[in-house]
Amino acid sequence: MEKAACVLFLVVCAAWDVKKWSFPVWLLLVGTLVPVAFLVGKSFTEGWTVWLSPAIGCSFGLGLYLAGRFFQGSFGSGDAWLMANTGLFLGWEKNLLLWWNASVLALLFAGVLVVLRKGNRKTKLPMAPFVLAGYCLMELGAWKEIL
C-alpha cells in the first residue's frame, strides 16, 4: 500500500513538474501527510523506532533545499520538498539511492540533449520525472543488473 501511494504521488508530481515547473502546496502537503499516516499506524505495532529512518530521509530534503539556496537555484525548493516526502516514504537509505538514481538519469538525459544540440549546460530540467524513473529503477532492481 505504501509503495502504491509513493508511486501515485511521484506520478502526479512528475506530470505537474513537466507541465507547470512547480508543485502546488496542497500536493506537497498530501505527500507529507500520507507517509506520516502510515508511520503513525506502524508505530502502534512496531514502536517509535519506525520514525528514525524516515526522519533522517526527510532531513535529506532539507539539505537539498539549503544546497539549492547556497548554489543559487541548482535544485528547486519544490524538488527538495519532493525528496523530503520520498524520505518519509522510503527512509534515508533508499532515499539516498533514489536521489542518486534520479541524478544519474538527469545527467544522462542532459548529456543526450547536449550531444543533439537541443540544450546546453544551462538548460534546466524538471527533476520529478527523473525521481519517478529512479524510483522505478530502484524497485525493479535494475541497477543490480547493470552494475
Answer whether 60's CB lies under 8 Å from 116's CB: no
Residues shown for the chain: 147
Q: What is the pLDDT of residue 95?
A: 93
pLDDT in tens, 61-100: 888 888 888 887 667 888 899 999 999 999 999 999 999 9
**Residue 23, domain extent:** 2-146
Provide the number of structural domains found in the chain: 1
Rounded to the nearest 10°, the torsion over CA 116, 117, 123, 127 is -10
Answer whether 38's CB lies under 8 Å from 2's CB: yes
Taking all residues of the chain, what is their mean pLDDT, rounded to a whole number? 89
Q: Model pTM greater than 0.75?
A: yes
Answer whether 92's CB lies under 8 Å from 57's CB: yes
Which residues neighbour 30 within 8 Å (Cβ) at sequence distance 6 or greater?
A: 9
Answer whether 7's CB lies under 8 Å from 28's CB: no
Q: Does the pLDDT at position 145 exceed 70?
A: no
Please state the rounded mean pLDDT for residues 107-136: 91
DSSP state at residue 51 = G
